Amino acid sequence: MAEQDASPPRNTSRDQSDADRSDQGKSPNKKRKSDDEGGSPLGSVVFIVAIGLGLLLAWSYFGGGRAAGPEISYSEFRTQLRANNVERVEVVGDEMSGALKESAMRATAQGDSTQYQEFVTYMPSFGDDRLMEEMEEAGVEVVAQPESDFPWGLVIIGLLPIVILLIIGYIFLRRMQSQGQGLFSVRKSKAKLFDKGEEDTTFDDVAGADGAKEELEEIIKFLKNPEHFENLGGKVPKGVLMVGPPGTGKTLLARAVAGEADVPFFSVSGSDFMEMFVGVGASRVRDMFEEAKKNAPAIIFVDELDSIGRQRGAGVGGGHDEREQTLNQLLAELDGFEKSESVVVMAATNRPDILDSALTRPGRFDRQITVPLPTREARREILKIHAKNKPFDDDVDLDTIASSTPGFSGADLENLLNESALLAGRYGRDAITNADIEEARDKVIMGLRREGVVLDEEERRLLAYHEAGHAIVAAALPHADPVHKVTIVPRGQAMGVTQQMPEKEKYLYRREYLLDRMAVVMGGRAAEEMIFDTATSGAENDLKQVRKMARKMVLDWGMGERFKHIALGDEQDNVFLGEELSRGRDYSDETAREVDDEVRQITENAFRRAVDTLGEHRDAFDKLADLLIEREEVPGKDVLALLNGDAITNNGAANVADEVSVSGAEAAGDEMSSDTEGDGATPDAVPASNGTSDASETDEADTGESSNPKGS
């Protein structure tokens, strides 16, 4: 699981002086953005001229250059003229503006009603033939100016809205360009270029993926010193595909490559190629490779490759498929007629099964690097990285935590320690204790406590016997995983949980282990029928799990009595609609009936073994149920003590350090198993990829699907 974790994400870029960067090393995205933000000189001039023109037109229209003073009536003007108070008059068309004499203003100070010196008035439309004679007699200075024939008012009224709209459009265009969202930028690649020194994640920050690191370090060495390998006749791999479950560190490894490589590193997500416009995806692929070739030698990293690399020709729709066009362009760039020398393509996916075969062939992706779930040793190293900045109490042992978290990915381990720190802070502690880690682990595995659920005494008793049935069968059968904890505290969507801790991580599953595992899962239903002579819906997940394991044994692993050493049926996954929507059948109806009979027989045998085991240990069975009703949670060591007839401690809390013993072979795919009783149709409580699960999830681990994808 590729994200063999490293330290928490850091800033992806560091400040550098301009002297340390060359123009060639700058990101194309950064260049476009800086150009847009700076703007062209012509654009700035146009903007300033448009603003100035608008202001000038508005000033002219609204009286710019007109004489100051109030507007008076024509009658008042004639009155002032007769009183010999007018000094000068300027006539422009119908408009007359002028000023009064100083003597008129002194008279105003002595009580006259005149409160102005300059004025504006208009000639009446019918005219005034005696006006000029009276002004000449009064000695008024008259200045006449021609009236302009150009309709400034109409022009301004028409142009002003257009100018305003142009200004608004210019502002929006500038903003779009500054954000890289211009009309013509939609076909540009969205790949981000990491310059030298901009990524501070290195291989020292990655733990638990030594094999993957070794492969990637070789790629970096080739790009740094290609002559050494070329002298030996070697060529740099065209592509490197990292495969693994979510959370195992694929993207983190890519970031480490960006931090270690002294070559330009382009990073892009597969979904970044897709857009609503036809042809955009292929155009972005071309643009990305063109930029990489300009900066060669370079590395291109495509995250979530399955979003554009799905198998072609299996779609449910018709017509043009933009995704296929994008994939075809990617295939041509990887290994087409035009060679892409010194450009290495890295990609990551957690669904290699749905990738197009043309994409994964040698010559395009020459290497496939599997990044699995971490082993116990790898988990310890990952925990050390995430524990660097966290204070721990003396009772915390990272080795014990690593042993108690089989199947956890690097992301799960980081989340576990983070939840532990949050719990310690909630309780006001100065350091993280083992109790915080245990509670955080239960929270990650089973979910939050459901405080609002109130069960009556009958339901609590039924639930206690159901979980006790799982626990006693698990503790009694020789090939079953040891019990870690039994609880009837509702968590997540489970009403009760029986957790089992594998003694060692397994690569393969023996027939004896699978049969004991099915008996453990049927222990809850067996307890219900033994004690209450009834069955409840709480065993729904148990029954589904047993059926899947039994069918796997018969159809895929050749473990049936009638069909030994033969695998029946071919799975046909629809890569567009999900997994296991259909399963091909290459055998007859009669064989199918025999398969169903054998699956039914295996299931019935598992139920009878559970009933017989509970009958043999009835005393311990009853005591454990009573203890669960009293405490609600019982650690595995107390279950074993009851089974052996020993005294148990009064402490009801599970102690990881006392219960966990991990040795032997280390594997990437094993998971902690657990059985749950739900309220009716209980869905899966925790994803199987977390390495821990409820009853409905353990089928993946315990049927071998986790450790062997082919199931064989």
Annotated binding site for ATP: 244-251
Residue whose pair of structure tokens reads 């055998």 in the numeric block:
587
Give the full edge-to-edge strand order of the sheet including 367-370. Answer: 192-194, 265-269, 298-303, 343-349, 239-243, 367-370
Q: In sequence order, what are the beta bridge partners of 249?
A: 3
Distance CA 411, CA 420 (A): 14
Alpha-carbon distances, residue 676 vs 306, 686, 697 (angstroms): 34, 11, 10
Closest by CA position to 286, among listed 320, 330, 328, 325 = 330
Q: What are phi and psi of 397, to 5 degrees?
A: -125, 115
467 among known catalytic residues: yes
Output the CA torsion sign for 498, 499, 503, 509: positive
- Which amino acid is located at 41 in the chain? P
Q: Which helix (H) or strand (E) holds 74?
A: helix 74-82
459 near 528, Cβ under 8 Å? no
Query: Strand runs (DSSP E) across 421-521, as ranges?
Result: 483-487, 494-500
Distance CA 574, CA 569 (A): 16
| 222: CB partners within 8 A, 6+ apart | 229, 234, 236
Q: Among 3, 333, 438, 467, which one carries the catalytic annotation?
A: 467
| 136: CB partners within 8 A, 6+ apart | 142
DSSP conformational letter for 113: S
SS3 at position 293: helix
Residue whose pair of structure tokens reads 């109806």 in the numeric block:
589
Closest by CA position to 695, among listed 680, 682, 670, 676 = 676
Distance CA 100, CA 138 (A): 12
* Half-sphere exposure at residue 274, Cβ-oriented, CA atoms within 13 angstroms: 14
Output the CA torsion sign for 507, 512, 518, 522: negative
Closest by CA position to 392, among listed 411, 409, 416, 408 = 416
DSSP conformational letter for 202: -
Q: How many residues does the chain have?
A: 712
Distance of CA 611 to the CA centre of its chain: 47
Instruction: Tally Cβ neighbours within 10 Å of residue 109.
Output: 8
Q: Which two tokens stand for residue 468?
A: 């006790």
517 near 673, Cβ under 8 Å? yes
Q: Which two tokens stand for residue 585?
A: 């059948």
| 273: CB partners within 8 A, 6+ apart | 280, 281, 284, 285, 308, 326
Question: Which residues define the annotated binding site?
Answer: 244-251, 466, 470, 542
Q: What are phi and psi of 676, to 5 degrees?
A: -130, 155
Residue whose pair of structure tokens reads 């508005």 in the numeric block:
58
Residue whose pair of structure tokens reads 């004639």 in the numeric block:
78
What HEC string does 573-599 produce?
CCCCCCCCCEEECCCCHHHHHHHHHHH
Cα-Cα-Cα-Cα torsion 319, 323, 329, 333, nearest 10 degrees, comes to -160
Question: Which residues define the annotated binding site for Zn(2+)?
Answer: 466, 470, 542
Closest by CA position to 551, among listed 560, 543, 561, 562 = 560
DSSP conformational letter for 481: P
Closest by CA position to 514, among listed 612, 432, 605 = 605
Alpha-carbon distances, residue 216 vs 371, 413, 495 (angstroms): 12, 24, 46
Q: Which positions are annotated as active-site residues?
A: 467
